Each structure stands twice: as C-alpha cells, then as structure tokens.
C-alpha cells in the first residue's frame, strides 16, 4: 500500500495556471512564421559580460557558502539600497540574500511561523504565489483593493503584501499612498513585505521603495522590501534576489534559513556584487525594453485594444472588453501567446497581460501581425 500525505497538493493549492495555456500555445506555435510568446516575463537578452566574468572567476568554490552572504555581497546590497532606493543607515543586519524572489514569496509565511487562524493579505490583482505561500502554511489568503479600507487587523492579519510596480497591471503606488499604508500597518502591528522587483522599470512613473525615508520615516521597523536581479540584469537563471529592512525580522529569517540550508551559491553571490555595482548595463537593458514596449503598445492600441495602468514593469495590461480567454484565443490564431488576466485574480477576467520580453525580431513579428 502506497504511503499518503495528510492532504494532497490538489486540495491545498490552486491549479498551476500555466498548464491551462498549453492548447493556446499549440495554436500559436502552428503559425507559419512561428510563435511570438509574450505570456511570460522571461528575459531573453544576454547576461552582461561583467556579470558572467564575475561568475566564472568565482567558479572554484568548493566550500559551502553562508546563508547571510559574503561581506562583499552585504556591502553591495546595503550600498545599492542607499544609492538606488534612498535607504539611509542600512547595516549588514538589514539585508539578506535569497534564492530568487519566488522562493521567498512562497515560503515566507511558513518561515514566519504563520498557520491556521492567521491572515495573509495581497492585492486583488496579483502574482499567484502570494496565495500559494499562504496556503502552504495553512494561513488564510485575503485580497484587497485598499488595505487600510478593506482589511480588519483584528481578524488575524499578520502579513501584508504590497506589490509596486504591480505584476500584472504595472500600477505604481505613490509615495503618499505607501506612507499611509505603512503608518496604518505599524499602528496595528502588521508586518509589511513590499515586492519591488520591477522598481527599476518605471516608464510613466518613478516607483518609490517603502525603504525611502519619506515613506518609512527613516525607521525600518515592521517593513521589508523584496528585490530581484532577474529583470534588471537578465539574471533569472541565476536565482539572485535579496530582502532589506527590519533587522529583527531578517534575523529570525536568517536563523530559519540556516537550518533549511537556503544558501545562495557562492558564484552567484560574486555575480550579484558585480551586477549591483554597475548601472550601465541596467540603462542599456531599459532602452531595449522601452523600444519594445513602445512598439507593442502602439500596435495593440491601433488594433483596438485599450491599455490600463502599465506605467511600470515589463507588461502591458490590455483589454478588448471581452472575456480574457476569448482574447487569448484570438491572439493565438495570429501566433501571439499572452497571459489571461484571470491568472492573477477574478478582477482580471476581461484583461490579458502582454510581456515585452521577447527579442526585437519577435516583437517586430507581433507588430506586423497586429498591423
């Protein structure tokens, strides 16, 4: 007789959404000129040479790395947060490398010791992994439009996720809005984790971190920012990310992650130092994305789509005012694959998310097919 676990995955977690897209991917792939896959925000451009060189130079790393990272890495993390986010007075205790931001999002509620009776809140339109993280530990996932208005701190609210710039909508929370939310969360003893992985990809807005002194008042109590090098440096394959903020919270997570062996590989730590020390490659990549974004937006709007939000991130949030799966099917017939909005919540049921992470050649192909 086969052993069983207490509850099968199918009863604990939502259906993995991307499996539902496979038939439409097959349709798009049958296009005579091939598929243009705009469904996933996966970088396609080369890893900058200076980052590859740093990785190779650290390849002879026979010993175990530390969970908290090298001194050089922690210097790079605190230095970048100060230079780019305006975070003042960060010490090594205020930063912690993680093995990609998705791992952190999925396992954070478990590592915080949350469980039955605890509430994890996240935006109504959001990356699905926020819900997955809550369900993995048995906590209750709750969505909101405005946390200050929609959530009851007395009902077991322990963890509040912010996401600015948003995935999927590209919406940016302004400084005043962030300040209001952080003050409210502190008043009620709610821990805030702000997913800021697209912060360096603002187009029609200048995203602000919760670590900026105008938002947090120069104190990191009760707040943590999540950052990734996947998008800004084309390092999705490296799994390079980090968190920064409340030293007490990070200290607890450090102890748990040491027990769990959640270590960033030593060559990746070295590559991260190189990546965060160079702004030129980030500016170059932004130019690529800006050109692709402009071309796709112009073509989509000329084709009858309406773009909403999308002031930042790597996506256009668009609609033809029809069910999202009808739009997915329509574009698949043109050889273009996009993500249905309901992947990110019921509120997205009439939208699709269009990534502009394809190559210039594939973006040009999509533009021609929409012309």
Q: Please work out, in degrees rounded to the nearest 5, the angle formed at the alpha carbon of residue 229 by the alpha carbons of 223 and 230.
A: 120
Q: Which residue has the higher pLDDT, 318 or 14?
A: 318
Distance CA 120, CA 130 (A): 8
> Tokens 């009851």 — which residue?
152
Q: At 155, is the pLDDT very low, low, confident or very high (cuts 50, 70, 90)?
A: very high
Average pLDDT, the chain: 95
Whether 74 shows a pLDDT value over 70: the answer reads yes
Residues 6+ away with beta carbon under 8 Å from 113: none
Residues 6+ away with beta carbon under 8 Å from 311: 165, 170, 171, 172, 202, 203, 204, 205
Mean pLDDT, residues 239-258? 98
- Give per-residue pLDDT as tens, 261-279: 999 999 999 999 999 999 9
For the chain, the helix, strand and coil percentages under 3-state DSSP, each to the nearest 5:
45, 15, 40
Q: What residues does each domain of the chain span?
A: 9-46+281-370, 62-276
Strands 315-319 and 306-308: antiparallel
In whole angstroms, how far apart are CA 15 and each of 19, 132, 343? 8, 10, 10
Fold match, 9-46+281-370 / 62-276: no
Q: At 7, is the pLDDT very low, low, confident or very high (cuts 50, 70, 90)?
A: low
Distance CA 20, CA 2 (A): 29
Distance CA 209, CA 225 (A): 7
Domain 62-276 has CATH 3.40.640.10: yes
Whether 35 shows a pLDDT value over 50: the answer reads yes
> Tokens 């780019």 — which residue?
84
Whether 4 shows a pLDDT value over 60: the answer reads no
Pairs from 290-298 (Cβ < 8 Å, separation ≥ 24): 290/203, 291/360, 292/356, 292/357, 292/358, 292/360, 292/363, 293/203, 293/356, 295/363, 295/364, 295/367, 296/38, 296/354, 296/356, 296/363, 296/366, 296/367, 298/367
Task: Tell me the whole-structure pTM to 2 decimals.
Answer: 0.94
Q: At 2, is the pLDDT very low, low, confident or very high (cuts 50, 70, 90)?
A: very low
Q: At 18, is the pLDDT very low, low, confident or very high (cuts 50, 70, 90)?
A: confident
- Give per-residue pLDDT as tens, 189-222: 999 999 999 999 999 999 999 999 999 999 999 9
Tell me the helices (H) and strands (E) count for the chain, helix number first: 14, 13
Tell me whether residue 89 is exposed, middle or buried, using C-beta atoms within 10 angstroms of its C-beta: 0 to 12, 13 to 18, 19 or more: exposed
Whether 12 shows a pLDDT value over 80: the answer reads no
Residue 326 three-state SS: helix
Mean pLDDT, residues 219-231? 97
Q: At 26, is the pLDDT very low, low, confident or very high (cuts 50, 70, 90)?
A: very high
Residue 318 three-state SS: strand
CATH class of 9-46+281-370: alpha beta
% of the chain beyond a pLDDT of 70 = 95
């Amino acid at each position: 007789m086969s052993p069983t676990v207490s509850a099968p995955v199918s009863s604990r977690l939502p259906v993995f959404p991307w499996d539902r897209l496979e038939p439409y991917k097959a349709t798009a792939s049958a296009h005579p000129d091939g598929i243009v896959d705009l469904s996933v925000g996966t970088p396609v451009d080369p890893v900058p040479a200076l980052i590859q060189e740093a990785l190779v130079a650290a390849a002879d790393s026979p010993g175990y790395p530390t969970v908290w990272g090298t001194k050089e890495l922690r210097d790079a993390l605190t230095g970048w947060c100060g230079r780019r986010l305006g975070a003042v007075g960060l010490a090594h205790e205020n930063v912690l490398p993680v093995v990609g931001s998705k791992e952190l999002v999925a396992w954070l509620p478990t590592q915080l010791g949350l469980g039955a009776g605890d509430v994890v809140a996240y935006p109504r339109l959001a990356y699905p992994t926020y819900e997955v993280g809550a369900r993995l530990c048995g906590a209750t996932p709750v969505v909101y439009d405005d946390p200050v208005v929609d959530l009851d701190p007395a009902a077991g609210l322990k963890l509040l996720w912010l996401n600015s710039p948003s995935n999927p909508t590209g919406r940016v929370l302004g400084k005043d809005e962030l300040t209001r939310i952080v003050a409210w969360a502190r008043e009620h003893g709610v821990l805030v984790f702000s997913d800021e992985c697209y912060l360096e990809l603002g187009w029609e807005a200048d995203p602000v971190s919760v670590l900026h002194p105008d938002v947090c008042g120069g104190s990191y109590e009760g707040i943590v920012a999540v950052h990734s090098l996947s998008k800004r440096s084309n390092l999705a394959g490296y799994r390079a990310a980090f968190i920064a903020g409340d030293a007490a919270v990070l200290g607890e997570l450090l102890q748990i992650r040491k027990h769990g062996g959640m270590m960033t590989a030593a060559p990746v730590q070295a590559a991260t130092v190189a990546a965060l020390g160079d702004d030129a490659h980030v500016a170059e990549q932004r130019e690529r994305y800006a050109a692709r974004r402009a071309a796709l937006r112009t073509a989509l709007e000329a084709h009858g789509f309406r773009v909403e939000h999308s002031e930042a991130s790597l996506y256009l949030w668009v609609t033809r005012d029809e069910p999202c799966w009808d739009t997915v099917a329509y574009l698949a017939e043109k050889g273009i694959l996009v993500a249905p909005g309901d992947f990110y919540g019921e509120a997205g049921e009439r939208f699709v998310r269009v990534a502009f992470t394809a190559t210039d050649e594939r973006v040009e192909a999509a533009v021609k097919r929409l012309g």
